[in-house]
Structure 1
Amino acid sequence: MQEKYCCVTCGTYANELSHHYKEGVIKIIHCKQCQNPVDPYIELDDLLVFIDFVLLKLRAHRHVLFNIDKIKYNHILKLSCALILVNAYIKWFHLKNDQYQSIINHDHHIFYALEYGFYSKLLESFFEYTIRFGFIFMIAIVQYRQTWTREKSILLFRALVLSSIGQLFVLPLLIWSPDHRDYYGLLICFIFTIFCHTQALIASQLFSSLISFLSSTIAILLSKYCVSLFSQNSFL
């Protein structure tokens, strides 16, 4: 049987998470390496799993990456599109907010220009994520060379997309402080995204802890810098 699951405690691969017996009896499988339950998160509610994931617990990241069958590849693609749209909206919101008075004065030319500006911010957002993910993929391919496989590509893409949820936390800032940029909040979300990327890469077992942190930090800074060459509002 193919080992497709992972022990959330030690990272050892396993054949199954639980074994179903007759009359509805279910037994949680224990890891052969560390003797702990392979994945105790299967008994918890999704909200508790999400909380541990946000708290950057390595066990939760392993559970999300390896042991949730209901997260399909098309779900990851949809989430990546949502992240790009959210990032583009945040950029466009501040652009629109800077010209809010012109819209109040019924300056339709400014309004149409801002509508066009959303598509330019959408392109910037796509460009930013492409650079970020592409840089980490390049490091992984160089490190593994001939042993790099399609399965590892899917696992890495899954880890990067799921660990980009820090961008979504910027949206409440638009509600709490719509008239100005909360740079402290943005900085916190920026730092959180770095650590979330790092923890996800460690959980994927594709990189060491040091390489995970360095590649995540450099990738995010590089993507922000490249976009800043085209827009002054890119660091959002």
Structure 2
Amino acid sequence: MNCKYCCVTCGAEADELSHHYKEGVIKIIHCKECQNPVDPYIELDDLLVFIDFVLLKLRAHRHVLFNIDKIKYNHIIKLSCALILANAYIKWFHLKNDQYQSIINQDHHIFYALEYGFYSNLFESFLEYTIRFGLIFLIAFAQWRQNWTRDRSMLLFRALILSSIGQLFILPLLIWSPDHRDYYGLLMSFIFTILCHTQALNASRLFSSLMSFLSSTIAILLSKYLLSIVSQNSFL
């Protein structure tokens, strides 16, 4: 955890990605373990990196987690807020769509209830992410109990936030099919989020491949189940 960078091919630690010589000569460093370039993504455009990230390539996840200095933690906080707002909007949109006929009939009580419903869904969204991330943190802490550090906590939080972008892919579906719930799209987003969490946790070197998949699946399913129980209470 003390080394700054990571080889995207084998996951070995590295002190630098490239070496700068005089007269502007730059040489990409090769990994001491696998003899491959430590990170060939530093030569690629950000869009190509994002495509590989969405395609769940392990090398791209390692690059994003370890080798990008320009992603600061204030950006991670802003992205986490955007994810919570997007999830809340999706929940509220479906609620509004279900009650659309009541709004047409000028049932103002339903209308104001829906406006209140957005704040309720915002709390539900925050609670869902808190439960999901909290469960994964507990599993990671139990596994690394003797060697758990603040750096590992920040790395895990970074991995979970960046791998939650699948939630944003539902927003275009609301534009393309606003009149009904696209359960197929929701299912695809759900599966993609599990796989993205799995790949990110595996890339973080905090979990094995199997533990990454199991912890991601259990945390997401359990968070949705607990949220469904909480949502049945009258105050939500």
TM-score range, shorter chain: over 0.9
Residue in 1 that maps onto 2:30: 30
Residue in 1 that maps onto 2:203: 203
The residue identity in structure 2 corresponding to 1:56 is: L
Separation in 2, partners of 1:114, 1:217: 31
Residue in 1 that maps onto 2:14: 14
The residue identity in structure 2 corresponding to 1:99 is: Q
Residue in 2 that maps onto 1:172: 172
Deviation string 1:170-198 (CA, Å, 9 cap, x unpaired) is: 11111111111111111111011000000
Residue in 1 that maps onto 2:127: 127
Separation in 1, partners of 2:188, 2:202: 21
Separation in 2, partners of 1:140, 1:218: 13
Residue in 2 that maps onto 1:146: 146
Number of aligned residues = 231
Deviation of 1:22 (Å): 1.1
The residue identity in structure 1 corresponding to 2:151 is: E
Separation in 2, partners of 1:231, 1:177: 26
2:44 matched to 1:44? yes
Secondary structure of residue in 2 paired with 1:10: coil
Secondary structure of residue in 1 paired with 2:144: helix
TM-score of the two chains, using structure 2 as the length reference = 0.96
Secondary structure of residue in 2 paired with 1:61: helix
2:79 matched to 1:67? no
Residue in 1 that maps onto 2:110: 110
The residue identity in structure 1 corresponding to 2:229 is: L
Separation in 2, partners of 1:136, 1:145: 14
Residue in 2 that maps onto 1:227: 227
Separation in 1, partners of 2:183, 2:106: 30
TM-score of the two chains, using structure 1 as the length reference = 0.96
Deviation of 1:106 (Å): 2.7
Residue in 1 that maps onto 2:186: 186
Separation in 2, partners of 1:194, 1:213: 7
Runs of 4+ in 1 over 4 A off after TM superposition: none
Secondary structure of residue in 2 paired with 1:113: helix
Deviation string 1:141-200 (CA, Å, 9 cap, x unpaired) is: 111112100000000000000000110111111111111111111111101100000000
* Aligned-residue RMSD, C-alpha: 1.0
Alignment of 1:208-219 (within 5 A): 208-219=208-219
Secondary structure of residue in 2 paired with 1:81: helix
Separation in 2, partners of 1:129, 1:94: 19
Separation in 1, partners of 2:30, 2:203: 19
Deviation of 1:105 (Å): 2.7
Separation in 2, partners of 1:110, 1:208: 49
Deviation of 1:118 (Å): 0.2
Residue in 1 that maps onto 2:54: 54
Deviation string 1:57-115 (CA, Å, 9 cap, x unpaired) is: 00000000000000011111110110000000000000011111222233222221111
Secondary structure of residue in 2 paired with 1:31: coil
